[in-house]
A and B are shown apart, each in its own frame.
Chain A
Amino acid sequence: MALKDITLGQYYPGDSAIHRLDPRTKLIGTILFLVSLFVVKNFTGFLFCAICLAILVKISGVPFRYMARGLKAVIFLIVFTALINLFMTPGTPIWQFGILKIAREGIYRACFMAIRLVMLIFGSSLLTLTTKPVALTDGMERLLSPLSKIGLPSHELAMMMTIALRFIPTLLDETDKIMKAQTARGADFESGNLRERAKGLIPLLVPLFVSAFRIAADLAMAMEARCYRGGDGRTRMNGMAFTKLDTVAAILLILYFAAVIALGRLPLF
């Protein structure tokens, strides 16, 4: 079933160097990597990024097949982007059929965009696969905390993310259960035209919303029962500390970024 294929936001247990890095390092690293994908100007640059990413994936110990499953959910987006670029880029036409025409530049742009998207997804899923969601949002909170001085509610934002991430699997479970119960009553979620399918979702969505509200009310009650009152003066059970590993990672990151910029300046294909 399609629900099982969503790997984005799912933690893959392990104890690699990547898993052990401080979440803040990984967050900044991922952001830099994503930025670097937009700095890249040629295919040689992408090749370099891909090699670096492949090495990181290898170190992390997450099986490639497992990561690739995350692509399935967005394959439509990638194909769509590639097609739009293929047909809409002006330039020297090499093929024409009615209003459809393909330019040499279009092929180049389409490949470029598709590679960029695939790498964006791999890069960001490496972060979520190797970092526990709670560590991730804690890291985010710490990174954003200087901004709370100018009124950004960093703790609240992080808490919202934590709750959202925490309840993705719960809601997926719930969806799965309701789907099964309705399938046992003969509901069909997989065939029919778009209209029929959309109508077929009602028996799933109504109970799901009811569940979501129930879960939210229970959670709010449980938090209040334990005197939750926001972020001021709150301490943490697991403090975060940079280690030698993070220093090494930071140096490698700077070198990587410099290399990407340098490659972009060279007249390569």
Chain B
Amino acid sequence: MRIEVKDLSYIYSEGMPFESVALEDVSLTVESGEFAAVIGHTGSGKSTLLMHLNGLMKPTRGQVLADGVDIHEKTKEAREARRKVGLVFQYPEYQLFEETVLKDVCFGPKNYGFTPEECEAKAIEALKLVGIDPDEKGGVSPFELSGGEKRRVAIAGVLAMDPQVLILDEPTAGLDPKGHRDILDMVCRIHKEKHLTILLVSHNMDDAARLADRILVLDKGRLAMDGTPQEVFSHYEELHSIGLSTPSSSELLHLLKSKGLNVNTNIFNEDEAVEEILKAIHGA
């Protein structure tokens, strides 16, 4: 599913003393099957943007189109389009409420009017997709699971609605390194197996560079940069001036270069960075 955002603006508490502009004339298109990462400083409008993409917030100006359908309309097609844009919030485990894991994952499809059998089939498939064994954990209370498992179940709750676009707002916040890796590997696997369009919000530049085909940079409610990781992360100074950074390998190469080692700084993964450094040392 292709998502098109046209001149989107959103102003909080318009006409109140607390008025603040969260988004200003943001226009972007995410093609079907693309894996895009959204990066930006805290308060740059990332979350606000995401909430517009599945109709949770109504834009002050502008529109959001999903395969050409304006998702803020009140029609059936618009509701269907909103279902196809799955949104996983930060700390999604706080949304769990049912008696059992399986029932909780069924909540989404049930709301969209699927029969109980269909709901269960979808829930089981979604649980398998996130790596939770539905036979072993399906009947357990979601509150008895570990932190990482809770998060997976919550993500399964969104996947069970069969979205074509999956939006994840910092899905690894508060997890340990293993949990972090597991969740991102899972997102990658879902992207490949289900051919979903993925939008990932992240504060981790290494993840963004490693996973995404495309990086969207937000700054003070505006779209500051939009391009491949290579293009975006080559703007070292600009990224630093808006409170972001480049992937750690590139940061290291920049440091080496400033100390006099002649290296190419536009390298965004560790293996290539190591080769580049070795080459520079042995060549010198």
Contact = CB atoms under 8 A, between A and B. Distances in A.
Interface stretch (B66-74, B104-112, B221-229, B271-279): B104-112
Given A13-B17, A180-B56, A203 B107 contact: yes
A13 B16 CA distance: 12
A249 interface: no
Interface stretch (B82-90, B192-200, B257-265): B82-90
B1 interface: no
A184 B97 contact: no
Contacts of B92: 181
A186 B161 contact: yes
A177 B94 contact: yes
B143 A186 contact: no
A207 interface: yes
Nearest to B154: A181
A202 B97 contact: yes
Contacts of A202: 97
B183 interface: no
A87 B89 CA distance: 51
Nearest to B107: A185
Contact of A184 (B17, B89, B96, B110): B89
Nearest to A62: B17
A209 to B, nearest CB: 9
A211 interface: yes
Contacts of B158: 184-185
Contacts of A13: 17
A203 B95 CA distance: 8
B94 A210 contact: yes
A218 interface: no
B83 A186 contact: yes
A187 B158 CA distance: 12
Nearest to B109: A186
Contacts of A12: 17
Contact of B56 (A184, A188, A206, A211): A184
B111 A185 contact: yes
A61 to B, nearest CB: 10
Interface string A178-212: 10111111111000000000000011001100110
Contacts of B164: none
A48 to B, nearest CB: 31
Contacts of A185: 95, 107-108, 111, 157-158, 161
Contacts of B96: 207
Query: Chain A, interface size: which category?
Result: 20 to 34
A184 B163 CA distance: 11
A195 to B, nearest CB: 17
B19 to A, nearest CB: 12
B107 A177 contact: no
B246 interface: no
Nearest to A185: B108
Interface in A2-41: 12-13
A66 interface: yes
A206 B92 CA distance: 14
A178 B157 CA distance: 14
Contacts of B86: 184
A185 B56 CA distance: 11
Contacts of B161: 185-186
A184 B87 contact: yes
A206 B94 contact: no
Contact of B112 (A180, A181, A186): A186
Contacts of A66: 16
A259 B51 CA distance: 55
A66 B19 CA distance: 13
B107 A180 contact: no
Nearest to B105: A185
Contacts of A207: 94-97
Contacts of B95: 178, 181-182, 185, 203, 207
B17 A187 contact: no
A185 B107 CA distance: 7
B202 interface: no
Given A202-B97, A207-B94, 11 more contacts: A13-B17, A183-B56, A184-B54, A184-B89, A185-B107, A185-B108, A186-B111, A203-B95, A203-B107, A207-B97, A211-B94
The 9 A-B pairs at the shortest CB distance, nearest first, are namely A186-B111, A206-B97, A185-B108, A181-B95, A184-B87, A181-B89, A203-B97, A186-B112, A207-B97
Interface of A: 12-13, 66, 177-178, 180-188, 202-203, 206-207, 210-211
